[in-house]
Structure 1
Amino acid sequence: MIKEEEWMTIRGLGSRIKKGMTVSEISRLTGHDRKTVRKYLLAEEKLKYSATDRVSKLEPYKDYVRLRLKEVPEISIQRMLREIKEKGYTGAHSILGDFTRPIREERQKEAVIRFETMPGEQSQVDWSSFGTIEEYGIKKKLYCFSMILGFSRTIYIEFTTSQDIFTFLTCHQNAFLYFGGYTRIILYDNAKTIVLSRYQGNIEWNTNFMDFAGFYGFQPKLCRLYRAQTKGKVERPFAYIRQDFFIGTKFEGIEDLNQKGLSWLNTLANTRVHGTTKEIPFERLKKESLLPLKNRLYDTSYIGARKVSSDCFISYEGNRYSVPYQYSRKSLTIRADKGRIRIYADNQQGPVAIHPIFRGKGKDISDPKHFEGLKIKQKERWDGFKEAFFSLSPKAKDYWDGFLSSSQMRGRWWELRKILSLCEKHSLEDVEYAFKRALKYQAFGYKYIEGIFINLRGKGPFTGPEPLKEILKRTLEKMGAPKVEERPLKTYDQFLDQYRASQN
């Protein structure tokens, strides 16, 4: 017997037979045989479906499932399924899911007693995504940071294009400055920005965040998993921020957006009568008794290591910033905030370079002072190198001039250093011969000089005057002379002594 929905489909299509639709077309559309289609089209009465009483495979385990949901509300379906399978359950995952879903939904509808905090006791923090923003021609994700004081409901917001730990701490500190202090406890969700892992009550916090919390002396707490009620004071304001401020607001860049956001906080969000407290947040803020900042601020700058390029620049967020030429190819440390980047070297108390942050990408930001003396130093090094090259042989100057004027060697001056290093391993006569031959055929470049030396000696690069013994040995080998066993000189002395004795 087909399902009731299929029967209704067939009957509905049957009404089109008078308009030209055939039984074969209905069969093709429904996937049923033509005989089956014809049977139900000719039936005069509607099919009767009766529900059969069947015992669910989950029935023996329902009490256990209810008990586990009561004890551990956050338990996953997968874990629950493993537990009841160990007890003999043979049903599917879907049966368990269908049974637990109404229980979880009913639990979420339970009345929640509103938790009101004492003045200065607790604040709540969270992020929320607000789409994208184009900043200096680059499309970036836009986020909103929010901190709300539990007692007064005073709120602070800040829009950012990053959720890294340094941005997170900067937003905290800006909120502290806005409120004039901070609470003893700050409640968070389980964002990866601050929580690296959380298992069975053991929490691994981000070390930078814990250093920040220790600096100010507040206690961080995490809200209960899957219990949005513990963080509702922050999550509800995000909807308020979107509807009352963000939607429809025109802005030019993130700085303009934050300026307008601050104005909205001061003139509307924190000056209205709050729907829960029935008081103005700024008025209740006076009773908060927040912990004071004591004129000390935590350094929330980004800290990282950078290798200086050969042309005296370091890279940060798609731009390059100059450093003094003395630090070329060295490793330095950078500290960057929203306004500037400071660059430090080991064993130096202050920064070796400070630049304003450029918000676009692909730009070189340089300070002319960083290159003062570099040209003089480079000229001194070049003059010293030139003098060393000229001292190789009388023909070295002619070769130098020919090399630099050669179109093939243009931009390959570094080969002169390799030629200098190669020539220092050969005798003055060999170097002079190599330069004369190279000038004769206008063959400039390292590989040509090296080839001349190889042809000159018949082997690899020469390391000094060749011993006469080696020259004779090579000549005899070319002549095909038989090899003679080498003997110590004492052997010949003994032979001479015997010869003299026989003559006497």
Structure 2
Amino acid sequence: MKDLEDWAAVQKVYKQTKSKRATAKILDISRNTVKRLLEMTEPPVYHRTSYPSKLYEYKELIIEWRLDPYNFNGTRIFRELKEKGYTGSIGPIYRFLGKVDEDVGNHISKKATVRHESPPGDQAQFDWTEYEVLVGNRYQKVYCFAMILAASRKKAVCFSLKVDAEAIYEAIQELYKDLGGITLELLIDNPKALVIENNPKSEDEVRYNPHALMLAKHLGTELNACPCYWPRKKGKIESPFKYIEEQFIKGKNFANMEDLNRRVKQQVDGWCDQKHTTTKRIPNQHYLLEEQAVLLPLPKSRYRIKKMQNRKISPDSFVSINSNKYSVPVKYVGKTVLFRIVYGFRIELYDSKENFIMSFEQVDKKYQTFSNPEHYEAIAPRVSTSIPQIRRDFTQRYSNGVRYLDAAGHKFDQPTHYARKIMELQELYSLEVMDVLIGIAVDEDRMDIKGFKALLKEYNDGKRILEPIQQKDPASRSEPDLELTRDCSYYEDYAKEMCYADSNN
């Protein structure tokens, strides 16, 4: 209201200036306006100009035609009024009829509903929505599938990069598994992956997707499609999406899709430990006490609409999928495995009998190789075969390691060969025992593997009593010169012996 703002400004400035001319100049308005506003003893009040409705003179006639015995609808009333001189549109007629219907007769609002509380084990509700989520430092469109047990309000959630039929069927099965059993019915929305036709104006039954019916039969449940344009029918499943967006997604970054799924399951499980505002009970407790026992058992296998693809594991224990290589346990080398990609990011491997092997996340880049050292433990050497690494391991592990390599370097062509054989015995004895025996082997010149095993036998038979040694700080141990394998005098003596042998020949 401009007049009210001007009036307040004029009153304030005039009290300071005591001059109408100065007030008008400061506020950049005319002196006549200042004079008019100063003469007003009270703030100006806005008065809206009302215009008579074109429908006003016909309202009584409309009420008469709407009631018995006429019961005209809006279109008929509009046509009759035009014949009587009405020049307006049909919109005001329908708006007035809405008020008439509310005031006359036993009218009930279309929004009125009866809350239905399902018995335990009867119903689960399933739905999904999409979010923009920060995954791997970039925003991605992800789909959040959710399922809730109608009785206990226990919930389960998972995320996907796809929302096709395969992803929907997989999500239903995964969420039922998270909930620990199957309900008698599953309340669903009307996507083409589940429902082909659900016409609220038709008397015909709902036509479900054949794959959806086969999934329901596989699970042992019945599908119940929600009426079109009636979201309150599945109101219990709507609230989790608001919670997930506000309490979980906003302000968070996730390393990858597996990290997103792992963390949301933890969050939702913690949410189910809080008292529900409607039932006034804790969903997890309600579930354990009343609903878990009445759920139907889960099927032993998953329903799939596509056959799995096969791959042969390479000799270096890798499987190649979409131009990337992923390591698998070495026991599958040379065997043919089956795989499928779930939710657009998760690769699942199965053996030839469709027994699950492992799963891992698919990467976006191409021509990458991903190796897990645990997959090679069955064939991995217990001790390194690299000579420099053997020297480093031997001297860092044993305080007598430097002495041994120095002494063995004067006696053997390959002192690291015997050092490696000694380290292979480490699993059978403590580090302290091995360290003491290495020192004894140097002192008694029994540094080859046969002599060292003889020392171990004496120790096992009780013929060799070991005195405890003071362990030195590994950082204080002197490192041998890894580039020098033995003293140069060894090669001088060896060259003299070779020259002497050649002269005799």
TM-score (norm 1): 0.47
